[in-house]
Amino acid sequence: MTRRLVIITEIISPYRIPLFNALATRPEIDLHVIFLAETDPVLRQWKVYKEEIRFSFEVLPSWRKRIGGNHVLLNRGVTRALKTASPDLVLCGGYNYGASWQALLWSRRHGVPFVLWSESNVKDMRPGRSFVEFLKRQFLRRCDGFVVPGQSALQYLTTYNIPDGRIFTAVNAVDNDFFASAASLARQHAVRLRRELDLPARYFVFAGRLVGEKGVFELMSAYSKLDETLRREVGLVFVGEGSYREELESGANHVSPGIVRFAGFAQREQLAVYYSLAESLILPTHTDPWGLVVNEAMACGLPIIVTDVAGCSTDLVSENWNGKIVPAKDVAALASAMDNVAGNLEVAASMGRNSEKRIADYSPEQWSAGILRMVRGVVRE
């Protein structure tokens, strides 16, 4: 039997489109996606790849504002969109938007199963105000089921006494084929691309926002602590923009010897080039529900150095097999991991091959299979 599934999510993210496309090919699923906004131009500079969309969707009218440290997104037409879509089941990405609560209340009123797509993890738990925690618990106990990307997110829900039987895993994924193909092509033109992009012959790569919570200052400090000989041979490339770029550039001027580059923001196609010519990806984040840049880099065949608070670390990275896991904010441990990976090219190459093996199981098709299991389980219950 075909089930009408409505997914509510924030923006048209380039890494979500392949997932939704894969789900739309499932004959058991009649998919419709409701986006709360087309994009977030302040926080993200992603290109909107509407031409790649192969599923039914709509974008709701929205109003967005940042008030202090809080992110506010308000929408019109949530209940109208749900009524028109007439879902058998609603999958909602998050509980921190007004539209999420509207969708939950609409589902309760109309007897439609409501499932939360949750990526929060135990190590990413941030100290919250009591009122916010109260609202979160009220939201969670009204959900019929939950979708998580991996073990860390599952453990997080169990801290709220959610039974395992109501939690379904749909692995976080990116378009592995795209990144693998783009990486292969880039390596065929490595000499030209290094020259055009002013890239070192060897380098570590960081991809993400240049903000403190991503661990960029710890990364700069760890790089500066590497042996001088290694710093003369291996550079550090920051791919991304953020409020701390100038401060980081100033700090880079004091790293000598050393090769530090700031590439700026890169769209999906160029991002694959930076991955493919690097020796390893480093994600030194202080807090991250997952870290999809790790998926992307693994699809490009890179060893991974990641902090233990990133949600992906438990599922994607095995110590000394395809990378290194270090404590967040631990500069000495991060420098040691960088030295270990860059100092042994044979080990690094083996780690890169292992990354490709593991990420093959984290594909859009695998994600859609997890969603299908959830639909069957929740509707049957």
CA distance linking residue 376 with residue 109, whole number of Å: 22
- Dihedral of alpha carbons 88, 94, 95, 97, sign: negative
Strand, coil or helix: 87:
coil
Residues 166 and 190 in one domain: no
pLDDT, average across residues 28-36: 98
The domain in which residue 334 lies consists of 176-359
pLDDT of residue 348: 96
Residue 69 confidence (pLDDT): 63
What number is the average pLDDT over the span 12-38?
Answer: 97
Mean pLDDT, range 283-302, rounded to an integer? 97
Average pLDDT over residues 45-63: 94
Same domain assignment for residues 125 and 24: yes
What one-character DSSP code corresponds to residue 310? B
Residues 160 and 292 in one domain: no
203 with 268, same domain?
Answer: yes
Residue 364 has pLDDT above 60, yes or no: yes
Give the mean pLDDT of 84-94. 97
Q: Average pLDDT of 116-122?
A: 92
Stretch 66-91: mean pLDDT: 90
Q: How is the beta sheet containing 235-239 ordered, strand by strand?
A: 260-264, 235-239, 203-207, 280-283, 304-307, 323-326
**Tens-place pLDDT, residues 152-189:** 999 999 999 999 999 999 999 999 999 999 999 999 99
Query: What integer pLDDT is reported at residue 3 of this predicted model?
Result: 97
CB-based contact 115:60 (threshold 8 Å): no
The answer to whether residues 54 and 144 belong to one domain is yes
Q: Residue written as tokens 């100092």?
A: 343
Do 203 and 340 share a domain, yes or no? yes
pLDDT for the residue numbered 68? 66
pLDDT reported for residue 66: 74
Q: What is the pLDDT of residue 122?
A: 81
Poorest-pLDDT segment among 78-87, 129-138, 240-249, 353-362: 129-138
For residue 126, what pLDDT is reported?
59
CB distance 204 to 223 below 8 Å: yes
If you average pLDDT over residues 109-113, what whole number do you get?
97
pLDDT at 276 over 60: yes
Q: Same domain, yes or no, for 135 and 182?
A: no
Q: What pLDDT sits at residue 123?
A: 77
Half-sphere exposure of 47 toward its Cβ, with a 13 Å CA cutoff?
11
Task: For residues 212 and 147, state if they share a domain.
Answer: no
Q: How far lies 379's CA from each of 19, 57, 112, in Å?
A: 21, 22, 9
Shared-domain flag, residues 185 and 124 = no
The pLDDT, as a whole number, for residue 379 is: 87
pLDDT class of 82 with cuts at 50, 70, 90: very high
The answer to whether residues 142 and 42 belong to one domain is: yes
* Angstrom distances, CA of residue 294 to CA of 177, 297, 313, 343, 349: 15, 5, 9, 21, 16
| Per-residue confidence (pLDDT) for residue 381, from 0 to 100 | 63
Mean pLDDT of all residues in 339-359: 97
Helix, strand, coil share (%) of the chain residues, nearest 5: 45, 20, 35
Distances (CA, A) of 372 to 253, 274, 354: 52, 35, 28
Q: Output the average pLDDT for the chain.
A: 94
Count of domains observed in the chain: 2
What is the structure's pLDDT at 44?
74
Q: What's the confidence (pLDDT) of residue 124? A: 65
**What is the bridge-based pairing of β-strands 260-264 and 280-283?**
unpaired
Are residues 346 and 202 located together in one domain of the fold?
yes
191-203 pLDDT per residue, tens: 999 999 999 999 9
pLDDT for res 284:
98
**294 and 214 within one domain:** yes
Task: Report the pLDDT value the prediction gives residue 255, as an integer from 0 to 100.
Answer: 94
**Percent over 90 (pLDDT), the chain:** 88
Maximum average pLDDT range among 87-91, 127-131, 377-381: 87-91
pLDDT at 72: 84
State the Cα–Cα distance between residues 61 and 46, nearest whole angstrom.
19
pLDDT exceeds cutoff 70 at 258: yes
Q: In Å, how far from its chain's centre is CA 28?
A: 27
Task: Quote the pLDDT of residue 64.
Answer: 86
Does the pLDDT value for residue 380 go beyond 80? Answer: no
Domain at 53, CATH number: 3.40.50.2000
